[in-house]
Amino acid sequence: MRVTMAQINPTVGDLEGNFRLIARAVAQASQDSSDLVVFPELAITGYPPQDLLERPWFVEQAQGCLQKVLSLSEQHEGLGILIGTPTKAAEAGKSLYNSAVLLYRGAILAERHKSLLPSYDVFDETRYFAPARHNSPVPFKGWRLGISICEDAWNDPAFWPAQPPPTATIPYRDWPRPEPLCSSTSPLHPFMPARKSCTAG
């Protein structure tokens, strides 16, 4: 499977501008005959959207932007799109998930939600999002995709002495032969790439 990593630089709150970046990346991935294009965490809203998530009009507009990306998947029918966006949550007390949504041929194939929500440094995700309690692989074009979001893929307890990873974090070792895909964003953190590289390696 040919996968394009769309390393765009979304702007927090600029939904129209972010959609233009997404549309260009989708068109390029389609031109390159990719099977799947993977976008960063919360690519639609920019990261971190913070208190914009408490404004219903903003969440509604983000959902509208997701529908526009869904239309792109219909136009580029051979290409799957994995896009980061907030989605509505059923959890008590929290109205949103931090999600990666898989789109293909004008349909939503799957939604996978972030489990390990950071609340340190510039991050305050527990304020806005409910954690996923369960995730599972997603079948796509004959492959099993192990979709994760940021910390869910690098949850070594050594990195979290004060906040051990929850048992709900995606159990890669329990999945038979998944292909791991991680949608991630790490703003203003110079050491994050090295930390992630150590974990992935």
Show the tokens assigned to 57.
């009009």
Active-site residue, selected from the candidate residues 41, 125, 151, 196: 41
Closest CA to 148 of 131, 127, 126: 131
- Give yes or no: 41 in active site: yes
Closest CA to 53 of 118, 115, 129: 129
Strands in 35-75 per DSSP E: 36-38
Active-site residue, selected from the candidate residues 54, 60, 77, 114: 114
Rounded to 5 degrees, what are φ and ψ at 107? -130, 155
Active-site residue, selected from the candidate residues 150, 151, 182, 196: 150
Q: Are 105 and 73 in contact (CB under 8 A)?
A: yes
Q: Are 179 and 153 in contact (CB under 8 A)?
A: no
3-state secondary structure of 146: strand
- Give yes or no: 141 in active site: no
Show the tokens assigned to 108.
């939503």
Neighbours of 201 (CB within 10 A): 5
Centroid of chain to Cα 83:
6
The catalytic site residues sit at 41, 114, 150
